[in-house]
Amino acid sequence: MMQSMTGFGSEEAEVPCFGKISVELRTTNHKFLEIVFHSPEGFLSLEDKIKKQIESKIKRGRVICSINIAGAKSSNIYINKELLKQYLSTLKNIKNQFNLHDDIRLNTLIHLPGILSLGEDKISSGSIWPRLKTLIAKALEELVKTRQKEGKSLYSHFKNRAEALQANLDKIKIRFKKAIKDKFSKFNTDEERSAFLKDSDISEEIERLAFHIRNFKNKLSKSGPIGKEMDFIAQEMQREANTMAAKSFDVAVSARVVQMKSQIEKIREQVQNIE
């Protein structure tokens, strides 16, 4: 089934000892597969696993993988008791040595360097992986569905465009034969006719464009990444249409070719979003 490169998928769950884990996957157009991570500190070791999991479902596009954990980290105040003992001992020695009478106050102690520190419980990325893997799988499933949904819409768009191109080309073929016949009636010799055809015959371009249209329609029903192939075919269609426009001597044919070029251009715009 045809897939767009634009999509979104998310999943979240409450995990004991960790808090709420949420996963968001967004994809946009890109020539190749590129995966960008936004994850909590300590999750670098999991990125290769996540990347492989994403690569199993997504073949092309820019993927932004965001992982958030709420409530998993708790702040704690740590007291360096050994350092505090050393401070107290040193302060008492100073007090005795210089015959000082000031008391050693708590407010003084807590402001001494290294006595108090604020720490956070570290999240074990290894122990969270089984649950995270499940969440990513569900987010990927939703992502693929949204890409397929848009792909289905684009399929209809491309099919209609291709059929319109074929209809125009059929009319051009009929009109060109009549225009050639009318033009030949005005020439007196075969040499004149041959000289005219040399720069004005679009028979080969018509046949090649017909082939590209058929090939394009066949690609629509293929599974897997087809965006690059479809873009190449659209370029070839545009090339043939441009040549036809340059060689055409008939106003009616030229008008049809202009319509076809517009249709092909719209195809080329949309095909950039196909995986």
pLDDT tens profile 11-35: 999 877 678 899 999 999 999 999 9
pLDDT above 70 (res 78): no
Q: At 96, is the pLDDT very low, low, confident or very high (cuts 50, 70, 90)? A: confident
Which is higher by pLDDT, 268 or 76? 268
Q: How many CB atoms lie within 10 A of CB 253?
A: 22
Per domain, the residue ranges of the chain are: 7-73+125-146, 75-120, 150-271
When the pLDDT of each residue in the chain is averaged and rounded to a whole number, the result is: 89
Closest CA to 217 of 205, 229, 225: 229
pLDDT above 90 (res 51): yes
- 203-220 and 125-184 are packed helices; what angle lies between their axes, rounded to 10 degrees? 150
Which is higher by pLDDT, 112 or 134? 134
pTM of structure: 0.72
| Predicted confidence (pLDDT) per residue in 118-155, tens digit | 544 455 666 888 999 999 999 999 999 999 999 999 99
Cα radius of gyration (the chain): 35
Contacts 24+ apart (CB under 8 A), 117-120: 117/77, 117/78, 117/80, 118/75, 118/76, 118/77, 118/78, 119/75, 119/76, 119/78, 120/73, 120/74, 120/75, 120/76
Percent of the chain residues past pLDDT 70, beyond the cut: 93
Q: At 222, is the pLDDT very low, low, confident or very high (cuts 50, 70, 90)? A: confident
| Predicted confidence (pLDDT) per residue in 225-275, tens digit | 999 999 999 999 999 999 999 999 999 999 999 999 999 999 999 999 999
Question: What is the SS3 assignment for 100?
Answer: coil
Q: At 98, is the pLDDT very low, low, confident or very high (cuts 50, 70, 90)? A: confident
**7-73+125-146 placed in CATH 3.30.230.10:** yes
